[in-house]
Structure 1
């Protein structure tokens, strides 16, 4: 998410309690957040829900933004977390709906679209990683989703560079193993 210096300044001002800056910040980041959510979730309505959740989370937790790293990095993490939370909520609702034997309103994207199915499989793998090894997931999200350099990942997590590289490697192996049977990936 490439945001300009004006956005970074608005974020710092909003973090100190400037409500005008927060309003302007939310307006500026909404299109960026929506694009990011669309890359993660296969349906526009789901991405819109995740986008709104992200904007709400930013408004609610902007005071936690310390400015040690760029706001865009912090926003990437919040967006990815909200998108994954939206996915888990939708998955739970779908399971409840199936239990009630109500017809689903959406087809299973794994059967309709290779791209959408792949995204959902990746979200499932990330969910499994989060429940098993959350510290690995954090490193993976920062490197492969936020596209930070290894040194930036280490700085964000306040860990040595070697530890960051190791966590990313282990996370990738975990995800690869989780996806392996469906995608012909050898373990």
Structure 2
């Protein structure tokens, strides 16, 4: 997310307790948050849920924004976390459905886009990575989803540049292996 300086200033003011600035900030970032949630979640209703969760998280936690990094970086992390949380919730709710209540259904490839299926596989792989190696997942989200450069990732995580590059490389290998398994092919 590339936000203008006015938005960055609104974020700093909101972090200091300015409620009008917070309202304006949320109004300004909502379309961008929705766009990013849509990258994570293939169905609009799910993306809208994640977007609302993100805006609520920003409103609740804006005082934690210290201004060391750009607000857009902080917002990327909050958005990615909320989208993944929404996805995990969707999976949990689906798993809780008893097989007696609903017949087991397989996705009809004529009705489910390849892109939607790929996104869901990627979210599954990201969830597994986060469970196994959260430090790698965090670096990968900042680099590949938030589109920060390597120096910004290192700065945001408070680690040396070489460590950031290594974590991103390891995370990509992990995801590649997980996706290879998902599609029955070699990693």
Give the TM-score normalised by the residue count of structure 2: 0.93
Alignment size in residue pairs: 186
- Which ranges of 4 or more aligned residues in structure 1 deviate by more than 2 Å? 98-104, 106-111, 181-187
How far off its partner does 1:95 sit?
1.1
* 1:13 counterpart residue number: 13
Runs of 5+ in structure 1 lacking a partner? none
SS of 1:68's partner is: coil
State how far apart, in whole Å, the 1-side matches of 2:44 and 2:112 are. 15
State how far apart, in whole Å, the 1-side matches of 2:185 and 2:114 are. 16
State how far apart, in whole Å, the 1-side matches of 2:106 and 2:18 are. 44
SS of 1:112's partner is: coil
Instruction: Give the 3 Å change call, closer, same or farther, for CA 69–112 of structure 1 in structure 2.
Output: same
Matched, 1:54 2:50: no
Runs of 5+ in structure 2 lacking a partner? none
Q: 1:165-176 residue pairs with structure 2 within 5 A?
A: 165-176=165-176
* 1:153 counterpart residue number: 153
For structure 1, which segment, 111-120 or 29-38, has the greater mean C-alpha deviation from structure 2 after superposition?
111-120
SS of 2:48's partner is: helix
Contact 1:42 1:119 in 2 (8 A): yes
Q: What value does the CA root-mean-square deviation take over the aligned residues?
A: 1.9
More helix by share: 1
Instruction: Give the 3 Å change call, closer, same or farther, for CA 95–163 of structure 1 in structure 2.
Output: same
State how far apart, in whole Å, the 1-side matches of 2:40 and 2:51 are. 11
SS of 2:97's partner is: helix
* 2:126 counterpart residue number: 126
Q: 1:8-157 residue pairs with structure 2 within 5 A?
A: 8-102=8-102, 108=107, 112-157=112-157
Give the TM-score normalised by the residue count of structure 1: 0.93
